[in-house]
A and B are shown apart, each in its own frame.
Chain A
Amino acid sequence: MTDANFVMSPIRSDHGRPAARDAHDAHDDWRQRRLVAAGFDAQLATQLAHDGLVDLHELLVLLDRGCPPELAARILAPLDPPEPVP
C-alpha cells in the first residue's frame, strides 16, 4: 500500500482567478501527486498530469502489473500529439 495520503486541498479562488481555473490546477496537482506516489519521477508526473490526453487509470493499471513508469508513459502516449500553437 502506498503511504501517501492522496487528498485534494481545498480549492480557493485567490487573486481574482476564476474558481474553475483554480479547480483545474488543483486537479492537475492531485494527479501529479498521485503519479509521484505511484513511482513516477516528478518531471514526468507533472507532464502527464497536465496532459489531458493520457488516461491515468490505465497508467496506474500498467504499474500495478509491474510495468516501469517510463515505459507505461510511452505505451499510453497519444499517437497524434496536438499541433503546437504558433
Chain B
Amino acid sequence: MTRPITEPPNLAAAEPAPLHAPLDDESREWLDALGATGHVRNEAVARLHELLLRAARFEVGRRRLALPHLRGGDQDDLAQQSAGDALVAILAKLSTFRGDSRFTTWAYKFALYEAAVKLRRRRWQDRELPLEPDTWPDIASRALSPADHAVENELLDALRDAIRSSLSDHQREVLVAITLNGVPIDVLAERLNTTRGALYKTLHDARRKLRAQLAAGGHDPTNDPGRHEP
C-alpha cells in the first residue's frame, strides 16, 4: 500500500490563528458603551443591570422550591443583591471578555452564579451546621459482590479510624462538614470568617494525611473494589 504524497504545509505563509474570536456587533456595542464615559456609559450600565436583574429573578424563581420559607419580598431582595454583585463583577472583569460567546450570554452567567451562591447561603442560614460525624453517611451504596463488599467495609472502617485518629480537631471538623455533611465551602468560610482557599488547603492536608494513614495500614485508597479490569 502506498501512501498518498501530500505537499507539506507552507508554514511561512500560514496566517496566525486569532487569539480571540471576533466579536459580534451587539457584543462590540456593549463593550464600546460600557467603556465610554458619561451618559453613554450610565445608560449602558442601567441596561446591563436590567438584564442581570431579569436573569437573577429567573434563577431565584427556578430554585425557589428548595427554599419554601422564602417570601416573595425576600426572593426579590436576593435577586436585586445578585444583580448588583454581578454588575460589579462584570465591570471589574470587562477586559477579560474574550468573545467566545455573546456578551449578554457571558454576563448572564454572572447573575446566575451570584443568585445560586446567595440562595445556597440563605438555605444554610437557618440550618444546623454539622461539624461532627454524628451519623456516618452510607457511602457504600453500590451493589457489590460479597467479597468486594467485605473489602469495602474494611476500607471504610479504616477510613473512619483514620479520620478519628490522624486528623487534628479542626481538620476533622472541616473535612466532616464539607465532605460528609455537605456544608458548602463558601458557607463554612463565611461562618468562620475565613477564605475558601484556606479551607481548601485544610481539606487538602486532611486528605493527604488520610491517604498516608490508609496506605500505612495496608489499604490502597485508590483501589476501587467495585471496579474490575476487563
Report A9-38 CB contacts with B as 1/0, cut-off 8 Å: 011000000000001000100110010001
- A1 at the B interface (CB under 8 A): yes
Per-residue CB contact flags for chain B residues 124-165 toward chain A (1 = under 8 Å, else 0) read 011111111010000000000000000000000000000010
Interface string of B168-188 (1 = CB under 8 A from A): 111111100000000000000
Q: Are A23 and B191 also in contact (CB < 8 A) when A2-B169, A5-B134 are? A: no
Which residues on the A side are within 8 Å of B171 (C-beta)? 64
Chain B: residues with Cβ within 8 Å of the partner, total of: 25
Q: Ordered nearest first, which 9 A-B pairs have the shortest CB separation?
A: A57-B194, A64-B168, A60-B170, A7-B128, A56-B192, A57-B192, A6-B131, A55-B194, A11-B126
**Interface residues on chain A, size class:** 20 to 34
Nearest A residue to B177, CB-CB: A6
Per-residue CB contact flags for chain B residues 185-206 toward chain A (1 = under 8 Å, else 0) read 0000101111000110010000
With beta carbons under 8 angstroms apart, the residue of B126, B130, B202 that contacts A61 is B202
A3 CB, min distance to chain B CBs, angstroms: 9
Contact A57 B198 (CB under 8 A): yes
Q: Are A64 and B170 neighbours in the complex by a CB distance under 8 Å?
A: yes
Instruction: Determine if B170 and A6 form an interchain contact, defined as CB atoms under 8 angstroms apart.
Output: no
* Assembled-state Cα–Cα distance A16/B193 (Å): 27
Q: Beyond the given A1-B164, A31-B192, A64-B171, could you list 18 further A-B residue pairs with CB under 8 A, ordered by the A residue number? A: A5-B132, A5-B134, A6-B131, A6-B173, A11-B125, A23-B125, A30-B129, A31-B193, A34-B131, A38-B169, A53-B193, A54-B193, A55-B192, A55-B193, A55-B194, A56-B192, A56-B194, A61-B170
User: Which single member of B130, B189, B193 contacts A7 (CB below 8 Å)?
Assistant: B130
- Give chain B residues whose Cβ lies under 8 Å from the Cβ of A54: 193
Task: For A58, list chain B residues within 8 Å (CB).
Answer: 194, 198
Nearest chain A CB to B160's CB is how many angstroms away?
12
The yes or no answer to A8 lying at the interface (CB within 8 A) is yes
Query: In the complex, what distance in Å separates the CA atom of A7 from the CA atom of B183?
Result: 12
Contacts A5-B134, A55-B193 given; indicate if A64 touches B126 (C-beta within 8 A): no
Confirm or deny: A77 has a beta carbon within 8 angstroms of a beta carbon on chain B. Answer: no
Which of B126, B128, B193 lies in contact with A57, CB distance below 8 A? B193
* A64 with B169: CB separation less than 8 A: yes
- Which residue of B has the minimal Cβ distance to A60? B170
| Residues of chain B within 8 A of A61, CB atoms compared | 170, 202
